[in-house]
Structure 1
């Protein structure tokens, strides 16, 4: 089902093919995959693609998997990316996403530990080339959510928000529904970070209205429960006849309780 709709752009580290790899997956139904331009910036670690977006405009995404051997190697990774964009003819990035293996703030670690300052500064310097920011943190400035759990010695557990999505100022107004979820916890040891990008000018539709599966209307037990709840509401309405209406005791409140049930 999915294979017929997905186009995968990927890169692996030829020296460590089983340890480092990065991929960006596109849906044929949503993206014109014939016009995608791909740049392998660092094999296995950084892949940049430019896709058609709207009104002859494009969207450039950088997918990264930063090294986790140590903070020196992590710092060198960001410095290498900075050099690549300063020296090569690479497109301006609208979005950076992936596993950074470093956090910018102590709040993004459950033990409030600060990461190596040199590595953090190297990441910040690279981000500044595109003026991208951590929009999940901007949306939830005080939340403590994490994407990776480390099990250490003596049954110690620490959590970190290693996986993040940075977007540019021009793109941020089109982003909605920032989430961190464990939807794919059976496939990976990281939680998923996601965001919906709308075409600029698209009306906001909200969460939409809940509807029930029509097949449920043929379930006799469910129908019996509906009838029971309806009778209870009707009895409440009858008992309220002649009583003084209050904010917490009125026909509208009975109907709201009925809908919630």
Structure 2
């Protein structure tokens, strides 16, 4: 985060227990703020999502997190320019595609019930692709799961901006050696109003060993200081 000047890092499958958070704070509290939501039943071995804020380049102290589904979905609200706030929805979707419809429906109904502001970004590990081009070998995913995700995206006015800008390009963020497949499971969706504010898209191998690539984008609204 320091070397690449990453302001906000969204992590999935964190498996963080309270003692882990304490250890991280003891080591990195001067530079980082970690906001984590754990699986309530198996915090050390299942699910978990976190926002990691770089205190050197973000307004980390005034950031807030609202949990939508513990360990699976949470939204960060943080000041980024003067009195402007940005809302980022962090997602770790279930591995089982048959669980997806209920998951996406619950995210949508909880968002409405909590009367949350429309997110500027939704990102994470979706364990699902919307288009056959995002898998190799190419194939469609579970139709009901895709429909439920798209219903949520439409309700929140979110777009897969990278795919819209690169309609024919193939890019994969996850490889399965067991099944000899590639897929673009990790994505960043954005509000339609930010179509011209996202630059420097990237997907790279993380310095921390993982079977997922790290996907990144720079949020840079015209004539504004960006993070």
Provide the TM-score with structure 1 as the length reference: 0.72
**Structure 2 residue corresponding to 1:192, chosen from 211, 214, 217:** 214
Please identify the structure whose Cα radius of gyration is greater: 1
Higher relative contact order (Cα pairs below 8 Å, separated by 6+ residues): 2
Over the aligned positions, Cα root-mean-square deviation in angstroms equals 1.8
Structure 1 runs (4+) deviating above 6 angstroms are: none
- Please say which of residues 139-148 and 39-48 is displaced more in the overlay: 139-148
> How many residue pairs get matched?
199
Any conservation in 2 of the 1:179–1:194 contact (CA below 8 Å)?
Answer: yes
How far residue 91 of structure 1 moved from its aligned partner, in angstroms, is 2.1
Higher share of residues assigned strand: 2
- Aligned residue for 1:90? 116
- Aligned residue for 1:31? 58
- Aligned residue for 2:22? none
**Structure 1 residue corresponding to 2:135, chosen from 93, 105, 109:** 109
Higher share of residues assigned helix: 1
Q: Secondary structure at the match of 2:81?
A: coil
- Please say which of residues 118-127 and 129-138 is displaced more in the overlay: 129-138
How far residue 169 of structure 1 moved from its aligned partner, in angstroms, is 1.6
Question: Within 2, Cα distance between the matches of 1:75 and 1:16?
Answer: 22
Any conservation in 2 of the 1:54–1:199 contact (CA below 8 Å)?
Answer: no
How far residue 3 of structure 1 moved from its aligned partner, in angstroms, is 4.8
Provide the TM-score with structure 2 as the length reference: 0.82
**Structure 2 residue corresponding to 1:124, chosen from 116, 129, 150:** 150
Q: Secondary structure at the match of 2:187?
A: strand
> CA-to-partner distance for each residue in 1:35-78, whole Å, 9 max, x for gaps?
2121011110011111002231110000010000x212122110
Question: Within 1, Cα distance between the matches of 2:66 and 2:224?
Answer: 30
Question: Within 2, Cα distance between the matches of 1:98 and 1:114?
Answer: 20
> CA-to-partner distance for each residue in 1:200-257, whole Å, 9 max, x for gaps?
3159xxxxxxxxxxxxxxxxxxxxxxxxxxxxxxxxxxxxxxxxxxxxxxxxxxxxxx
Any conservation in 1 of the 2:134–2:183 contact (CA below 8 Å)?
Answer: yes
